[in-house]
């Protein structure tokens, strides 16, 4: 049984199957005529799809063995602009104070707005030997 008949029995169209990588390079099964229609009433069309290139992988920074005695910067990303993320972030600071009192947390609001970068703050955190960062909250 050829592949087209098999797919038809399964209720799968060859073109839909081509959407999966396994069938992506399957050769046309019917030669289209000049109008794009094959002898079986099939149509041959250009593919509007575009391959999205995979990004090169970038490793995460090594993790800490423990948070005990460490300094964590809690960075308010200021999404929404009215410092409303502060409630969640301050609550997290309170949790550390209560449950892991040896952890020092420092609250910072990112400068600019939520679409701008703040490289000066990232450098400040590094220069001040910040051990870890919590940044949020995006919505």
Partner 1 sequence: MSREAGEIERKYQIPTVALAGDNVVSFGLGAYFKYDSGMPLRFVGVPFPFAGQPEAVAAKFVAGKDMVSGKPFMQAVVDALTSPLTPEEKLSGPAPGAAAAEPRMLPPDTPDNLQRLFMARHWTDYNPVILPTEEKVAAMLKGTSRQPDEIIKSGSGTFGARRPFTVEKVATVAVMAGAKPEYLPVILALSTRVPYMDSTTSIAQMIVVNGPIRNKIGMNSGLGALGPDNEANSVIGRSMTLIHKAIQGYNEGVTGFASLSNPLRYDNLCFAENEESLPQGWRPLHVQMGHKPSDNIVTIFTGWNFINSTGWAAQHYAPQLLMRDYMASLSGMGATIIMDPSVAELLKGAQGFGSKEALGKWLSENVEKPAASYWGNSIVASMLAPLARQGLKPYADWLTVPGDTLIKPFAAGNGINTVVAGGKTASVWFATDFRPEGGTSIDEWA
11 binds partner 1 (CB under 8 A): no
For residue 70, CA distances in Å to 88, 92, 94, 128 come to 21, 15, 16, 12
130 binds partner 1 (CB under 8 A): yes
120 binds partner 1 (CB under 8 A): no
Min. distance of Cβ 84 from partner 1 in angstroms? 4
**Exposed e or buried b for every residue in 26-53, given b needs 16+ CB within 10 A?**
eeeeeeeeeeeeeeeebeeeeeeeeeee
Nearer of residues 1 and 65 to partner 1, judged by Cβ: 65
Cis-peptide into 137, omega within 30 deg? yes
106 binds partner 1 (CB under 8 A): no
9 binds partner 1 (CB under 8 A): no
Among 6, 69, 106, 117, binds partner 1 (CB under 8 A): 117
Nearer of residues 49 and 101 to partner 1, judged by Cβ: 49
């Amino acid at each position: 049984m050829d592949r087209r008949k098999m797919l038809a029995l399964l209720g799968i169209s060859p073109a839909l199957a081509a959407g999966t990588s396994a069938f992506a390079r399957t050769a046309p099964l019917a030669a289209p005529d000049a109008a794009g229609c094959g002898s079986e009433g099939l149509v041959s069309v250009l593919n509007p799809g575009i391959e999205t290139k995979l990004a090169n992988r970038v490793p995460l920074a090594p993790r800490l063995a423990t948070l005990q005695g460490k300094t964590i910067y809690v960075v308010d990303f200021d999404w929404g602009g009215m410092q409303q993320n502060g409630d969640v972030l301050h609550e997290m600071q309170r949790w550390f104070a209560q449950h892991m009192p040896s952890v020092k947390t420092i609250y910072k609001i990112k400068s600019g707005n939520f679409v701008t970068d703040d490289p000066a703050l990232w450098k400040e955190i590094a220069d001040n030997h910040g051990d870890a960062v919590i940044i949020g909250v995006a919505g």
